[in-house]
Amino acid sequence: MLETVHLSKSFKGKKAVQDVNLFLNKGESVGLLGPNGAGKSTTISMISSLIKPTEGEIKLNGINTIQKPGEMRRILGVVPQELALYQELSAYENLKFFGSIYKMKGKELETSIQEALDIVGLKDRQKDLVKTFSGGMKRRVNIAAALLHQPQILILDEPTVGIDPQSRNHILEMVRMLNEQKGTTVLYTSHYMEEVEQLCDRLYIMDHGEVIAAGSKAELLSILSTEDTIKVALDKMDESLVEQVRSIDGIRKVEAAQLQLKIIAKKGSNIINKLVYLTDQHHTQIIQFQTETPSLEDVFLHLTGRTLRD
Ligand SMILES: Nc1ncnc2c1ncn2[C@@H]1O[C@H](COP(=O)(O)OP(=O)(O)OP(=O)(O)O)[C@@H](O)[C@H]1O
């Protein structure tokens, strides 16, 4: 349905997005996951024709949309990261304004506004001024604005960043309902692995402007089928110990945070003896040693050497 081909964007010669190929099939829910600055927003801005790519194509049902964005705008609903609401107007008045941008009016607009408010759970607050809303409620008004023209594809750019847990759950449930019950195709960007895991059939992992892995959760996890994830808690830790652990044979990645080491090691490599030896030398004790089932976070760590929230 929607496809990007070798999509790239540079700002003043600096590459923000490089050679991104992604596709969305009709009815799919696809995640775009990556840390801050990975290039997710820039990719979305190109798809929604807010900015022009430096290179590459964006295709809607096989037709390049870069020169002719009209059809794309008609079927696409985009919820940007930045809120764009009039604080002194009510939720209803804001939606009326957004509807007029889509040239909607009269009964059609009224029905759409009420449906969108219903979906985001703000029907009974529609007369209240937006300035009285919590961050999560404002975000929900923004989502309602993107739903007014009943888009076939909905793109959400990190919709749950910085909002209360109740609104967050509401948004996740709402996206799931739109996808499963209304058949809306979803592209959901996030740097929360668990959200994307919950909501999406497939995901793309981006880092430094590039897609570094893509596939279903099972496919991505199979990247780690030859590895173990081990958590080690220590009573104290220093950088030279971490460096020496990194150089143990069979260890592929080590992430140190507070008094914990997260280690990705070749399956079956017997690292415990070497760990005990090294911790002894550093007068440090192992408090806990635990092998874990790998998660998508571990896939990210394996691919980039960093955690998602670095
Ligand atoms: N208008 C711009 N001018 C210059 N550089 C930009 C511009 N927009 C984005 N960038 C740069 O492009 C890179 C990708 O940014 P982008 O906002 O797409 O990442 P992101 O994955 O959406 O991260 P975030 O979650 O922080 O929004 C970053 O290095 C950013 O500084």
Per-residue pLDDT, 29: 95
Helix spans in 8-105 (H): 40-47, 70-75, 91-101
**Test site for ligand 1: of 12, 41, 161, 211, most ligand atoms within 8 A of the Cβ:** 41
| CB 38 near ligand 1, within 6 Å | yes
CA dihedral 69, 81, 182, 66 (to 10 degrees): 10
Nearest ligand 1 atom, CA 209: 14
What amino acid is encoded at 117 in this protein? Answer: L
| CB 41 near ligand 1, within 6 Å | yes
Cα(17) to ligand 1 centroid in Å equals 9
What amino acid is encoded at 267 in this protein? Answer: K
Cα(13) to ligand 1 centroid in Å equals 13
Query: Which residue ranges of the chain lie beneath pLDDT 50?
Result: none
Per-residue pLDDT, 43: 95
Per-residue pLDDT, 24: 93
Protein residue with its CA nearest to atom 13 in ligand 1: 16
| CATH (one of 3.30.450.40, 3.40.47.10, 3.40.50.620, 3.30.70.100) for 226-293 | 3.30.70.100
pLDDT in tens, 221-248: 888 778 888 899 999 888 999 999 999 9
Per-residue pLDDT, 309: 67
| CB 37 near ligand 1, within 6 Å | yes
Protein residue with its CA nearest to atom 24 in ligand 1: 36
| CB 42 near ligand 1, within 6 Å | yes
ipTM: 0.93
Residues of the chain with CATH 3.40.50.300: 2-222
CATH class of 2-222: alpha beta
CB 43 within 8 A of CB 3: no
**Test site for ligand 1: of 8, 14, 42, most ligand atoms within 8 A of the Cβ:** 42
CB 179 within 8 A of CB 186: yes
Three-state DSSP at 256 gives strand
Rg of the chain taking only CA atoms, in angstroms: 23
Nearest ligand 1 atom, CA 43: 18
DSSP 163-208: --HHHHHHHHHHHHHHHHTT--EEEEEES-HHHHHHH-SEEEEEET
CA distance linking residue 209 with residue 35, whole number of Å: 10
Residues 6 or more apart whose CB falls under 8 angstroms from that of 40 comprise 32, 34, 157, 158, 189, 206
Nearest ligand 1 atom, CA 17: 14
Tell how far CA 77 is from the center of its chain.
Answer: 17
Nearest ligand 1 atom, CA 38: 21
Helix spans in the chain (H): 40-47, 70-75, 91-101, 106-120, 135-147, 165-180, 193-199, 217-221, 239-246, 272-281, 296-304
Residues of the chain with CATH 3.30.70.100: 226-293
CB 28 within 8 A of CB 201: yes
Per-residue pLDDT, 139: 92
Structure token digits, residue 228: 């173990």
* Residue 212 vs residues 32, 277, 302: alpha-carbon distances, Å: 11, 36, 11
